[in-house]
Structure 1
Amino acid sequence: MKITITCVGRAGRAKHDASQSLIEAYRERLPWPVAIREVEDRKAGGTAAERKAREAALLLAAIPKGAVIIALDERGKSLTSRAFADQLAAWRDHGEQEVAFVIGGADGLDRSVLDRARLTLSLSAMTWPHLLARVMLLEQLYRAWSLQTGHPYHRD
């Protein structure tokens, strides 16, 4: 299964910060190919709704065609690690080739993204910086793989 993480970001952000090191560490552990597609809204200003709409257009354009879309949102469904692993396995077993996770900007995701998502997922009831959300997502993807394969990383 191919994984794409589509997210709002800023070009020129520090590539050698601690979160980037963790992102790369989990990407290297995963046997699934993981692409991170970062989009940037270069237009300044506007209301939160206008920013979210501009970001949504960029995010939706960056999602691979045919991918299962999973929107990360604080109001989304909360899953255990095992339930998350089971959901990924179910999509794989039903022939889904690619899953695209979408992480919005500071104002969250526009309704147009949430409406296209097959699942709206909450990583936590707490709000996390977007770079840490990427790390947490990648860790859970690695954990899901370990649960699916019986790897000892996850112990019940």
Structure 2
Amino acid sequence: MQIKLLAIGKTDNKQLQSLIDDYQKRLGFYIKFEFEIIPDLKKAKNLSEEQQKQKEGDLILSKLQTQDVLILLDENGKQLSSVGFSEYLQKHMNSGIKQLVFVIGGPYGFSKDVYNKAQGKLSLSKMTFSHQMIRLFIIEQLYRGFTILKNEPYHHH
């Protein structure tokens, strides 16, 4: 299995990008991982929230292959502990899927089409974080999940 993370818009904070790169590299020791940025929409100011969600949704869906399992990072999603998340990853690996895709939406969330295509929703917290921070948090949690599965000490630090 491989894991892909899709996010809208690039990270312009150099320190944050450096942390993302670090965890991405660490994660690569456990699983094939790809982090793909979907560029911000041009002229988004001229679009309604609904139009923006629709256009972003079309871009997200265009990045998927038919057999991908799509999981949305969504404030109304299921919350898991880090151990629960590692078990969630293991269950997906055991199911024999080729690619698990996590998506961080744009500022207004996801279009109906994206919700309809998704096989699950996860929430990292009841708190709201910037879309930039969520990237770091999900990559760190993926890394943590694999260290838990391998019984490595990172989880308790």
Question: Do both share a fold (TM > 0.5)?
Answer: yes
Determine if contact 1:6/1:63 at 8 Å carries over to the other structure. Answer: no
Secondary structure of the 1:74 match is strand
CA deviations 1:127-151 (Å, max 9, x no partner) are: 1111110000001000110111111
Compare the two structures and name the one with the higher helix fraction: 2
Answer yes or no: is 1:59 the counterpart of 2:48.
no
Determine if contact 1:71/1:101 at 8 Å carries over to the other structure. Answer: yes
Equivalent runs, 1:60-139 vs 2, <5 Å: 60-139=61-140
| Counterpart-to-counterpart distance in 2, 1:124 and 1:111 | 22
Answer yes or no: is 1:8 the counterpart of 2:5.
no
Residue type at the aligned position of 2:32:
P
Percent sequence identity over matched residues? 34
Q: 1:17 aligns with which of 14, 17, 35?
A: 14
Which stretch shows the higher mean deviation, 112-121 or 37-46? 37-46
| Counterpart-to-counterpart distance in 1, 2:65 and 2:35 | 12
Residue type at the aligned position of 1:26:
Y
Assess, with a 3 A threshold, how the Cα gap between structure 1 residues 25 and 64 changes in structure 2: closer, same or farther. Answer: farther
Assess, with a 3 A threshold, how the Cα gap between structure 1 residues 132 and 138 changes in structure 2: closer, same or farther. Answer: same
Residue type at the aligned position of 2:23:
Y
Residue type at the aligned position of 2:14:
D
CA deviations 1:36-62 (Å, max 9, x no partner) are: 111132243221011000000001111
Structure 2 match to 1:155: 156
Secondary structure of the 2:153 match is coil
Please list every run of at least 4 consecutive aligned residues from structure 1 whose deviation after the TM superposition is greater than 4 angstroms.
none
How big is the shift at 1:72?
0.6
Which stretch shows the higher mean deviation, 38-47 or 112-121? 38-47
CA deviations 1:66-119 (Å, max 9, x no partner) are: 221110111111111111111110111110121100111111111211221111
Q: Alpha carbon RMSD of aligned pairs, Å? A: 1.6
Determine if contact 1:6/1:38 at 8 Å carries over to the other structure. Answer: yes
| Counterpart-to-counterpart distance in 1, 2:78 and 2:48 | 27
Give TM-score, length-normalised by structure 1. 0.91
Secondary structure of the 1:88 match is helix
Residue type at the aligned position of 1:27:
Q
Alignment gaps of 5+ in structure 1: none
Alignment gaps of 5+ in structure 2: none
Assess, with a 3 A threshold, how the Cα gap between structure 1 residues 64 and 19 changes in structure 2: closer, same or farther. Answer: farther
| Counterpart-to-counterpart distance in 2, 1:24 and 1:138 | 9
